[in-house]
Amino acid sequence: MNKKELTIRKDIINAALILERKKLNQGKAGNISVRWDGGLLITPSGIAYDKLKPEDIVFVDKNKKYHGKWKPSSETPFHFDILKNKKDMDVVIHTHAPYGTGFSILGKPIPCFHYMIAFFGGDTVPCAKFALPGSQELSDNAVKALKKNKACLLANHGVIVTGSDLEEALFLAEELEVLCQQITIAKMNGAPKLVGSKDMKKIIEAVKTYGKQ
């Protein structure tokens, strides 16, 4: 592998460890992929994050054939299809984060209880319909849910976030979990109110230039 690929492999492992440290994933849960050479580099199936080495990261080529000593994540189908359909996104992170996954069990989109919802591409975070883990049906459902959004829930399963790079994807993964926690607290104390649609439209436009000069 060349120096650039080695760096990406190391960055994937570092990102996986960050997710674990922040309690967004644990042990062998979840997976991460980064676009590479017409295909993607992805975490392997069934190996704990703290055991990963650069050579353990699996390359899946444009024909969906994998290369390496381990099998790629069982969720490779939706990673592959999401990157294929979202040309502006180069990273996919899937987590089983507690609060986000808790919301996924409701099987409903998350509406704009908080203005930070705008960072995910719209005024809601959609929820993809349930399908068996690793199935093409699940991949199709996820691609549909992410058509206009950077993140979605997977019903009774977990969370997917996408990003232009690992930094953005990690930010969105953590931010979505924080929002789900905040909304849970609000629901425990009463009936949360939504941000108005006119205000959300303005906020959605404003975040498009957030952090840019």
Return the active site residues.
75
How far is 56 from 28, CA to CA, in rounded Å? Answer: 14
Exposure string for 12-47, b = 16+ CB within 10 A, e = fewer = bbebbebbbeeebbeeebbbbbbbbeebbbbbbbeb
How far is 213 from 204, CA to CA, in rounded Å? Answer: 17
How far separated are the first and last CA of the chain, in Å rounded? 35
How far is 6 from 111, CA to CA, in rounded Å? Answer: 40
The residue type of 62 is: K
